[in-house]
Structure 1
Amino acid sequence: MARPPRFDTSLLLDAAVQLAAASGPSGVTMSAVAAAAGAPSGSLYHRFASRSALLAEVWLRTVERFQEGYFAALKSSPDPRSAGRAASRHVVAWCRAHPEEAALLLYGAESFGRDGWSAEHLRRADEGNRRVFATVTELAAALGAAGTQDAEQVALAVIDVPLSLVRRHLRGGSPLPGHAEELAERCTDALLGKTGGAATAG
């Protein structure tokens, strides 16, 4: 029976995330990740064809892990306002539970070298973005959103508001306060309650 690799992909990506959280994307180099993981450089090049591929995987794994729970929250209740509140709470709770990965969300895909990604990495990124857009659009429709402004308000409520709350503390180097999830929910619910026909929703 073949022995499992000592330095698997997950371990190497964990080391890369730690470096990115501490020093930004520029701190994620093949040699730095190898040193942080205590792995030979060959282990990196065996799994990632280039630094561009490594950066793509670091970003995509982080975002896909975040989105998995986010989509589940948006589908968690038949009541759209309840689902919106759950999604907002998820943003804050996930960032609290995963502070290093949350620090990566301060950047964008461009900071992780999106222009140099492979076609497959771009496909994964675009598919995730499409799913977010489609799911938030469905939520807006369920809330009775009427027109572009209402749809934009729903996106503000369930994406920008909780992320802004988290980013302010991450950038300031302060921990998230214990009331952060509740505050995000309240702000989100206030915006959703003023969207289209949602003002009468429960």
Structure 2
Amino acid sequence: MARPPRFEISQLLDAAVRLAAEHGPSGVTMSAVAQAVGAPSGSLYHRFAGRPALLAEVWLRTVEGFQEGYFAALRSGDGPRAGGRAASRHVVAWSRTHPQEAALLLYGAHEFGRDDWPEEQLRRADEGNMRVRAAVAALAGALGLHGELGLERVSLAVVDLPLSLVRRHLRGGEPLPAHAEELAEQCTDALLTAD
């Protein structure tokens, strides 16, 4: 009977998140992750085909975890504006609760070597991006904001605006202020109010 693995994939990815938050994507190497958890390098190569697969998994686990709450927030509330406000608030609240993961996501997939990811991880990433675009388009339609300008407005309101608030503080090494969720929600609501 084979003995269970000593190091779970979640442990390895948690270590990769910590390394990425502290050193950026370049700090996430197979040997650095192995050292961080006290595992032999072979443990990582047994679970990931190489560094591109490790980088893809740490990125995808983080973004998919974020998106799960984001899509739930968009569907919540009483009507599309309330869902948009909740999604904006979620971006800030999730970043406050998950500062290392938020710091990781501020880099972007390409800085995590997206061009070298295995096909399966590329497919997952593309599907996630398509879900976000579809959700933003659906929200724009529900709000009566049509055309390219309407789509840009909704994208700004529920994606770019809350992310810029988070980015400014996290990149500056400051904690998010207590009023950040409320500010993001108010600004999003202003943008989502049809003319």
Normalising to structure 2: TM-score of the pair? Answer: 0.97
Structural mapping, 1:57-76, within 5 Å: 57-76=57-76
The equivalent residue for 2:168 is 168
The equivalent residue for 2:155 is 155
Q: Return 5+ residue gaps in structure 1 as ranges.
A: none
Whole-angstrom distance in 1 between the partners of 2:13 and 2:192: 37
What is the deviation of 1:2? 5.1
The equivalent residue for 2:143 is 143
The equivalent residue for 2:33 is 33
1:38-83 deviations in Å (ceiling 9; x for gaps): 1111110000010010000011111000000000001113511000
| Moved >2 Å (runs of 4+) | 1-4
Report the 3-state secondary structure (helix = DSSP H, G, I; strand = E; otherwise coil) of the residue aligned with 1:39: coil
Whole-angstrom distance in 2 between the partners of 1:90 and 1:66: 9
The equivalent residue for 2:79 is 79
What is the deviation of 1:146? 2.4
Report the 3-state secondary structure (helix = DSSP H, G, I; strand = E; otherwise coil) of the residue aligned with 1:5: coil
* CA root-mean-square deviation: 1.0
Report the 3-state secondary structure (helix = DSSP H, G, I; strand = E; otherwise coil) of the residue aligned with 1:177: coil
Whole-angstrom distance in 2 between the partners of 1:162 and 1:64: 18
Whole-angstrom distance in 2 between the partners of 1:151 and 1:70: 18
Structural mapping, 1:86-125, within 5 Å: 86-125=86-125
Whole-angstrom distance in 1 between the partners of 2:41 and 2:53: 15
Are residue 43 (structure 1) and residue 48 (structure 2) matched? no
What is the deviation of 1:167? 0.2
Whole-angstrom distance in 1 between the partners of 2:42 and 2:188: 47
Normalising to structure 1: TM-score of the pair? Answer: 0.94
1:114-151 deviations in Å (ceiling 9; x for gaps): 11111101000000000000011000000001221111
Identity of aligned residues (%): 76
- Which deviates more, 143-152 or 131-140? 143-152
Whole-angstrom distance in 2 between the partners of 1:130 and 1:4: 37
Whole-angstrom distance in 1 between the partners of 2:34 and 2:149: 48
Aligned residues: 195
The equivalent residue for 1:20 is 20
The equivalent residue for 1:134 is 134
The equivalent residue for 1:54 is 54
Whole-angstrom distance in 2 between the partners of 1:62 and 1:135: 19
